[in-house]
Structure 1
Amino acid sequence: MERSPLPEPLRRRLNHFSHSLLSGSGSGGLAAAAAAAAGAGSHFQPAVERERCWIGQECATSLPLQMCLYFNLYFFPFWWVSKVIMLEIKSYVLSAYYRIILCVILVLISLVEFIRLYLGYIGNLQEKVPELAGFWLLTLLLQIPMTLFDTCHPRLLVLPLEYGVNIIYVLLLGSEILLAFSALRHMVNQLELRFHMTHFDSLDAPQAHTDKRASRQAEGPTGLSGFNWGRTA
């Protein structure tokens, strides 16, 4: 099993947060669907068995989210170079206080961006709920507020190039928040459905074994009497 990049206590907290936030209303319906599928499978119908094998096994990876992450990965170097150039131009006009603020914001956004994209790629492609929840929280609580502060603060003398790249960046971040929330909800539902299917399969297996054993016992004397009758004849 591949080792997670997150510490285990943090991973458990993110997992609990995701399930408590996203698995409230649909758990009853998922359990009912799993119970219906498990009950239908007890009749040993081939078509039902094939359909039952696919329940809970759907791919939860979000293609739109992966596309946004891909574009974000190639856009961020251009954004970073533009910010450095604009910071160099404004450094002769801004006071030392605001120059320090801009440098700190640029460093924090760069560090958070590397961690955020890494968690987003792992969480989406490998269907890991804690990593994708960490990506969603970093985007919502850190990256968007810092970018909006850098864009909208009047004392920072935002230049037209900064407005352009920041607006594109905020649109990417907003799209990733919506798509990551949808992907998280789908992943949590899939995990719950797999859990319910495993639970009902474990309950259904002893009953199927008992029915099979009873059918063998019922067929045993009939086959034996037919065999003896053939020998007698």
Structure 2
Amino acid sequence: MAARTPLPHNLRRGLTAFSGAFFTTNKTWDSMHEVLASLPLQVMLYFNVCYFPCWCLAEGTMLQLKYDLLPRYYQLLLLAAFLILTMAEGTRLYLGYIGNLQEKVPELAGFLLLSILIQLPLLLFLLTDHLTIRLPLELAVHSLLLAFLICEVVAAFLALRAMSRQLAAQFYLRQFKVGSQGDAAGHDPPH
């Protein structure tokens, strides 16, 4: 999501064209294309990718330490939660990277859905259920992962909103362009 600046439009366009010509090696780059990828989301995803192996190691170790102390149904429940969180987190981070960097709406929407429907309830369960033996390290690693998750959901929602608005505007401009070409050729515009 690009931030709006108080600079005049002409000055901003000139600076964008200059920086595009000076700093990019691809000379076919469209200087009028506004980059919609969210830098805050990308930074959070990067740190989350770095943190994820530490979370897996800590959670796996804590699960192993308390496994025999839990009732059988909680053993299965916590093991399933750990496996689902691990698989969903890898998929979620991949979709976040692809959706944000390549400005793909479906992938970013999938990232949001996985975050809200799978990751958030499971993390809240692990943090709040009093029958699971909550170790201090577990509380710390889950709280940090939850903080990443909430910040990423907010940033992804804002990026997704900007991307979908841009796609809608492009769609309407194409429709207008096709309609005006039909009028110029003496044909009726398609309905």
Q: Does 1:104 align with 2:77?
A: no
- Give the secondary-structure state (helix, strand or coil) at the position aligned to 1:107: helix
Between Structure 1 and Structure 2, which shows a larger proportion of helix residues?
1
Q: Does 1:199 align with 2:180?
A: no
- Give the secondary-structure state (helix, strand or coil) at the position aligned to 1:181: helix
Q: Does 1:143 align with 2:144?
A: no
Residue identity over aligned pairs, in percent, reads: 42
1:205 is displaced (CA, Å) by 4.6
2:43 — aligned with what? 67
Distance 1:112 1:130 in 2: 17
The TM-score, its normalising length taken from structure 2, stands at 0.76
What pairs up with 1:113-152 in 2 under 5 angstroms? 113-152=89-128
Structure ranking higher on relative contact order (CA contacts 8 Å, 6+ apart): 1
- Give the secondary-structure state (helix, strand or coil) at the position aligned to 2:37: coil
Q: Does 1:88 align with 2:60?
A: no
- Checking the alignment, whether the CA contact within 8 Å between 1:132 and 1:184 is kept in structure 2 is yes
Q: Which runs of no fewer than 5 residues in structure 2 stay unpaired?
A: 1-16, 18-29, 187-191
Q: Does 1:184 align with 2:184?
A: no
Aligned length: 159
1:78 — aligned with what? 54
The residue identity in structure 1 corresponding to 2:48 is N
User: CA RMSD of the aligned region, Å?
Assistant: 2.3
1:200 is displaced (CA, Å) by 2.5
The TM-score, its normalising length taken from structure 1, stands at 0.63
Distance 1:90 1:178 in 2: 34
The residue identity in structure 1 corresponding to 2:90 is F
1:156 — aligned with what? 132
